[in-house]
Structure 1
Amino acid sequence: MNEIIADFELDVRGQCCPYPLVKTKSTLDTLDSKEILKVMSDDPMTPQNIVSWTKKSGDKLLSVEEENGIFIVYVSKA
């Protein structure tokens, strides 16, 4: 698998649902089309919430990873 290079990073570790999704949405709103956001969260609901939201928003989910309890989600702006 190719490594994903993010244009921006959003660290929401220590924050609970719905804050990580709210911050993800607001950050993506500031990006240009096809720019990539890397979201880091320790809330296990974050990946599920972002996956569901991208299905509705038209933005593209690129990857969901988990490393030592930290979820890394890559999203590309539509």
Structure 2
Amino acid sequence: MVIAMKKLDVTGDICPVPVLKTKKALEELNEGEELEVVGDYKPALENIKRFAENNGYTVVLAEETESRFRIVIKK
């Protein structure tokens, strides 16, 4: 079974915008689908991760490089 993955790029956005965009994108997903969020404002990674975990979503992957982050969340 192929899991559909939606992508969301929040590059250039600072909090709370990345979390708000992530929340909206997750609401549009069907159960079992995944959302990949990428961006460059590193504090957003922890905020998005915390939001996802506190709202019953599964964080499949959370990683960062020197200048970017990537998080995959399953609904």
Both structures adopt the same fold (TM-score exceeding 0.5): yes
The partner residue of 1:14 within 12, 15, 21 is 12
Query: Identity across aligned pairs (percent)?
Result: 34
The equivalent position to 2:42 in structure 1, one of 41, 44, 69, is 44
**Structure 1 gap segments, 5+ residues each:** none
Per-residue deviation, 1:68: 4.1
Matches of 1:70 and 1:54, distance apart in 2: 19
**Corresponding pairs, count:** 73
Q: Given the superposition, is the C-alpha separation of residues 32 and 23 from structure 1 closer, same or farther in structure 2, using an over 3 Å criterion?
A: same
CA RMSD in angstroms comes to: 1.4
In 2, distance between residues paired with 1:9 and 1:57? 19
**TM-score, structure 1 length as denominator?**
0.85
The question of 1:71 aligning with 2:69 is answered: yes
Q: Per the alignment, do residues 71 and 57 of structure 1 end up closer, same or farther by CA in structure 2, a change over 3 Å counting?
A: same
Conservation of the 8 A alpha-carbon contact between 1:63 and 1:75: yes
Residue aligning to 2:54: 56
- In structure 1, distance between residues paired with 2:43 and 2:23: 15
**1:55, CA displacement in angstroms?**
2.2
- TM-score calculated relative to the size of structure 2: 0.89
Where in structure 1 do 4 or more consecutive aligned residues deviate above 4 Å?
none
Please tell me the residue identity of whatever aligns with 1:55: E
Give the partner amino acid of 1:62.
V
The CA distance in 2 between the partners of 1:6 and 1:32, in whole Å, is 9
